Amino acid sequence: MERITVSPEMMAIVGPGVIEELGLDSPVVLAFSLGELPVMAVQTAGETNDAVALRLCVTEDACRRLFGHVPTVPATYHLPSDLRSIALAVRDCPLDGAAGITLRGAKSIELLCESFTALLGDALVPANADATLSERDTRRIVHARQIIDEQWREKLTLDTIAGTCGVNRVKLTSGFRALFGLSVADAISERRLGGARQMLLATDLPVSSVGYACGYLSNASFTRAFSRRYGVVPSRLRATAMAA
């Protein structure tokens, strides 16, 4: 394990092992695993993993000052090829001595900036905890969630979503639950009912028209689903809001 002091607020650590003392106040750690399924994890300083090839450790104050954001929730993301290339340049620096330290420090700063840009731009794909999904399949399942979020008014089935995303039904079903903590059907229902609630409060469309507009084939099925979700029938929700 090799430590590279980049600045008084930042350190790069090459190689696996337990970090016992960093000398940094409240450090945020970005850990990069660069194997067959490369990932980046936001973690605490005391965590260790034999697969970790590189860690960037930077103070919370520096994160706040430079990026206006401090990652506080541990998370793991698939590592895009451009970030992996920068991380490899830090790990496999061909230069020795002062030149190597300088190059590694510069590449570490570049990796930090690009990583935060990706984090803040929602450009990173979450990696499920058991790592049973490849990055390609994970992106396909994230695409499935985007389809639901954007096309929830249309007729959506497992088969149509799976076909559009290029993944089979079984992988879509299990992968969707692993990534998002709910089933595909539940995600569709949540999105439709949320949209219906907004329409009930913001328009004067008849309740039945709202239900049809949100993908329900009958007023009865819409009313049942809405009542289960919000504990009140659609007409009562609208009447209560209008009376307030």
pLDDT digits (tens, 9 = 90+) for 72-114: 778 888 888 889 999 999 999 999 899 999 999 999 999 999 9
Query: Final residue of a domain: which of 120, 147, 166?
Result: 120
Mean pLDDT, residues 47-73: 86
Residue 239 sits in the same domain as residue 139: no
pLDDT category at 37 given cuts 50, 70, 90 is confident
CATH code assigned at 196? 1.10.10.60
Report the Cα–Cα distance between both ends of the chain, in Å, rounded: 64
C-alpha 14 chain-centroid distance: 26
Look at the chain and count its residues. Answer: 244
108-158 residue pLDDT tens: 999 999 999 999 987 788 876 555 677 788 888 888 988 998 899 898 999
* Burial tier of 60 (Cβ tally within 10 Å: 0-12, 13-18, 19+): middle
Residue 106 sits in the same domain as residue 208: no
Q: Are 23 and 5 a contacting pair, CB within 8 Å?
A: no
Find the Cα–Cα–Cα–Cα dihedral 8, 14, 16, 22, rounded to 10°: -10
Residue 25 sits in the same domain as residue 66: yes
Q: Which residues of 116-143 are buried (b: 16+ CB within 10 A; e: fewer)?
A: bebbeeeebbbbbeeeebebebbbbbbe
Answer whether residue 174 is part of any domain.
Answer: yes
* Domain total in the chain: 3
Residue 194 sits in the same domain as residue 146: no
Query: Final residue of a domain: which of 120, 144, 159?
Result: 120
Predicted local confidence at residue 125, as pLDDT: 80
Query: Final residue of a domain: which of 90, 120, 150?
Result: 120
Answer whether residue 145 is part of any domain.
Answer: yes
Mean pLDDT, residues 190-198: 93
Residue 46 sits in the same domain as residue 94: yes
Answer whether residue 192 is part of any domain.
Answer: yes
Helix (H/G/I), strand (E/B), else coil: 44: coil
Residue 10 sits in the same domain as residue 91: yes
Q: Are 73 and 28 a contacting pair, CB within 8 Å?
A: no
Residue 31: give the domain boundaries. Answer: 2-120
Is the pLDDT assigned to residue 8 strictly greater than 70? Answer: yes
Answer whether residue 82 is part of any domain.
Answer: yes
Predicted local confidence at residue 67, as pLDDT: 94
Predicted local confidence at residue 218, as pLDDT: 92
Share of the chain above pLDDT 70, in %: 94
Answer whether residue 127 is part of any domain.
Answer: no
Residue 9 neighbours by CB distance under 10 Å: 17
Question: What is the overall mean pLDDT for the chain?
Answer: 88
